[in-house]
Amino acid sequence: MSADVSSRSPRGSAPRADSALAVEDRLYSALAIVRVVVTINMVGLNAYRRDNFSHPDVALAIVLGLVAWTAAAIWLYRDRARRTSAVLVVDLAIVLAAMAATPWVKSEHFNATIPGFWVMGALLAWAIHWHWRGGLVAAALISASDLLPRAEIDQSNYGNVFLILIGGPIVGFMCESLQRMARERDAAERTAAAADERTRLARAVHDGVLQVLAMTQRRGTAAGGEWADLGRLAGEQERSLRSLIRQQDTVPTASGPGAQVDLAGALEAMATAHPVRVEVATPGAAVPVDRHVAQETVAAVKACLDNVLTHVGPDASAWVLAQSAAAAITISVRDDGPGIEAGRLEEAAAQGRLGVSSSIRGRIEELGGTAVMQSGTWGTEWELTVPLA
C-alpha cells in the first residue's frame, strides 16, 4: 500500500489528480467532526457505566488515552504529509488494543466494549484512504476483535457487527466514486480547454494563412506561366495545412461501434489523396459523426470523384463543398466536364449497370439521406445530404 497519500494512489491505480486529493481532504475534515462526536459519546457512556469496570483506574487511563489519540489523529490527518500508512495502521491498532483490553478491564461477561462507536474513526479513515478494500479489512478486524472474546453473541452484538461489515466497504466505495468523479471532471475540463485552444488557433490560421494561400493560388493560376506553378504549390500547401488542422481537431474516439470521427477532416484527407485535382471547402469546426456514417459518406464522395476521373479524365478539376447545419450536412461535388446526357443514368440502370445507384445514391439513402444529381454543359454536380441526428 502507498506510503504517502499526497503522492500515490492505492496499489494498482493511476496517480490521483489534485482534485481527487482535494476530495480526500474534505472527507478527512468531515471525519474530524465524526471523531469528536463519537469521542464525546464514548466518554459519556463509560462514565455512565463506571460501575461495570473491575479495574476502574485502568479503564479511566484507557478512556483518557483514547481522547488523547482523538486529538492527535485529528492533527495528523489534517495534513497530507502526515497522513501516512503508518498513521492509519496505528489508528486501527489502538482501536483493536482498546477492544482487546475490555474483557480484562470489565469482565469476561462484558456487554459493550470500552471504545464503542469510537471505532468508527479508524474504520472510516481506512475506507477513505484505501477505499472499499480498506473499509472491508478494517471492518473485519474490528468485528473479529469484538466477537472473539465474548462468551456468547446476542442479537445486539450481531447487529453491530453486521452494520460495521457492510458500512466499511460501502463508505470506501463511495469515497472512491467521489474521487473518480473528480478525476473525470478534471479530464473533461482539460479536454474542453484543449479543444477551445485548437479551435482558436484553427480560426487564426483560417483567417490568415489559409486565406493568403488560397488567394495566391487563384491569382497565380490566373497569371499563368511560372506564377501558375506557384499557385499550384500554394494550393497544395493550403490543402496540407487544412488537413493538419483537421487532424488536430479530430474528435477523440474509440475504435468500437458507435465511435465518432470528424467527417470534414475525413473528406479533406480523401480528396488530398485522389488523382483528380480537387478543391475542398469544409466548415471551420469539426463535424463529429458516427464512424459508419463517415465511412459511407466519404465512400460516396469518392465515387463521385472516381466518375470524374473515368468520364472526364485526369486533367479534370472538381470541387467539394461541405456545409453543416444542426440536423444534416450537405456535400456538393461538382466537376467541369461536359456533363451527362439526359436519360443516361436510367439507361445504365436498365442495362444492369448500377454503379451510380449503388455507390452513390445507395450509400446515402441507406444513411437516411438524399443524393441529387444535376448536369449540363457546365459539368455535373452531386448534392449529398446526410442527417447528423
Q: How many angstroms separate the CA atoms of 132 and 305, rounded?
A: 59
| Tally of CB atoms within 10 A around 253 | 14
Mention every residue, 6+ apart, whose C-beta is less than 8 A from residue 139. 123, 164, 165, 167, 168, 169
Give pLDDT, residue 226: 79
Residue corresponding to grid cell 494550393: 235
Residue 386 phi/psi, 5-degree rounding, is: -120, 125
Report yes or no: 275 and 317 within 8 Å, Cβ to Cβ. Answer: no
- Asked if residues 298 and 329 have their Cβ atoms less than 8 Å apart, the reply is no
Give the Cα separation of 136 and 9 in Å (integer).
Answer: 18
C-alpha cell at 175: 469515497
C-alpha cell at 139: 471492518
Helices (H), 312-385: 344-350, 355-356, 363-366
Beta-carbon contacts of residue 62 (< 8 Å; ≥ 6 apart) = 98, 101, 105, 114
What domains appear along the chain, each with residue ranges and CATH number? 18-187 (no CATH), 258-389 (3.30.565.10)
- Return the pLDDT at 244: 62
Angstrom distance (rounded) from CA 251 to CA 295: 15
CA distance 264 to 348: 32
- Residues with Cβ within 8 Å of 210's Cβ and at least 6 positions away in sequence, in order, are 238, 241, 242
Quote the radius of gyration of the chain (alpha carbons, Å): 36
- Taking the C-alpha atoms of residue 315 and residue 113, their distance in angstroms, rounded to an integer, is 93
Residue type, 2: S
DSSP H/E element including 370: strand 370-376
12: left (phi over 0), alpha (psi -120 to 50) or beta: left
Quick one: cell of 46? Answer: 463509560
Integer Cα distance of 89 and 86 in angstroms: 5
| Distance between CA atoms of residues 91 and 121, nearest Å | 8
Per-residue pLDDT at 10: 44
Using DSSP, state whether 382 is helix, strand or coil: strand
**Grid cell for residue 133:** 478494500
Q: What is the pLDDT of residue 165?
A: 94
| SS3 category, 288 | strand
pLDDT 10s digit of each residue in the chain, 389 long?
333 434 444 444 444 457 888 999 999 999 999 999 999 999 999 999 888 899 999 999 999 999 999 999 999 999 999 999 999 999 999 999 999 999 999 877 788 899 999 999 999 999 999 999 999 999 999 999 999 888 788 888 888 899 999 999 999 999 999 999 998 888 888 877 877 776 676 666 655 676 677 778 778 777 877 787 887 787 777 666 666 665 555 544 444 555 678 888 888 888 877 888 888 888 877 788 888 899 899 999 998 888 888 888 888 889 999 998 888 999 999 998 887 766 566 665 555 454 565 678 889 999 999 999 888 888 889 999 999 87
- 299 and 269 Cβ atoms separated by less than 8 Å: no
Distance CA 333, CA 383 (A): 7
Distance CA 2, CA 108 (A): 38
pTM, rounded to two decimals: 0.55
Question: In Å, what is the CA distance from 272 to each residue of 71, 243, 265, 275, 279?
Answer: 70, 8, 11, 8, 9
Give, as one character, the DSSP assignment of residue 381: E
